[in-house]
Amino acid sequence: MSLDCGKTDYELGKRVLAYLENKGVETPRIKDQISPAAKVDVIEKNFKEILTVMGLDLTDDSLKDTPRRVATMFINEMYWGLDPQNFPKITAVENKMGYESMVIEKNIVVHSTCEHHFVMIDGYAHVAYIPKDKVLGLSKMNRVVEYFSRRPQIQERLTEQIYYTLEHVLETPDIAVLISAKHYCVKARGVEDINCETITSKMGGCFKEDMNSRNEFLSLIRSAGGV
């Protein structure tokens, strides 16, 4: 979806993009000047060719609108996280109360797409930080996860992008990100293992250096149905 401009922050999106590029974890991309509407038209045309090559009859009423549906879905629903204009507005406020303990958002839904086979990745992200000068609105962690999920991904990079975005916004390395997900490139093709889950993590600051902080994070996300 193209998000409500009142809920997005393009300037922050550009700063985050530059920060991730500097860290070497931004999604491989080329610069383009094509509008979202023009992208839909191009994808529709090319997806028609794909379906025709597969031998499908696009005059059938079940299929005739499929290329347009897929193109619109790609740009407006599944991959809007490729556009920094859609970066979510993030509210970080001064930590006036001096809160120094862990803040965790667990079981954040991850819906993404494997960039190798363009099939689904479904799972959960668990995100924690220890505040210094700033505290974050709780839903903002969910929005960061969703933004980077809404693009073709590999799970390792997704984990790093979430971590470094929060590091940039919160101005602290004391952040932990753990993702557990099922990949349909493993579940529905290849080895066809329906039970396999992939777990990735990125720990920084005290979560990396202090085993007690790391163990507390892992214990808390397991305590009520996490990993």
Q: Around Cβ 142, how many Cβ atoms within 10 Å?
A: 16
Out of 105, 153, 183, 206, the active site residue is 183
What's the rounded Cα separation, in Å, for the pair 176 and 159?
10
Out of 26, 85, 111, 117, the active site residue is 117
Q: Under DSSP, is residue 89 helix (H, G, I), strand (E, B) or coil?
A: coil
Out of 146, 155, 160, 206, the active site residue is 155
**Known catalytic membership, residue 196:** no
**Known catalytic membership, residue 126:** no
**Known catalytic membership, residue 116:** yes
**Known catalytic membership, residue 85:** no
Give Cβ neighbours of residue 79 (< 8 Å, ≥ 6 apart): 113, 150, 151, 152
Out of 21, 77, 116, 209, the active site residue is 116
Neighbouring C-alpha atoms within 13 Å toward the C-beta of 20 = 24
**Known catalytic membership, residue 114:** yes
Out of 44, 114, 160, 206, the active site residue is 114
Q: Around Cβ 137, how many Cβ atoms within 10 Å?
A: 13
Out of 26, 85, 111, 115, the active site residue is 115
**Known catalytic membership, residue 185:** yes
**Known catalytic membership, residue 5:** no
What's the rounded Cα separation, in Å, for the pair 77 and 69?
11
Residues identified as active-site:
114-117, 155, 183, 185
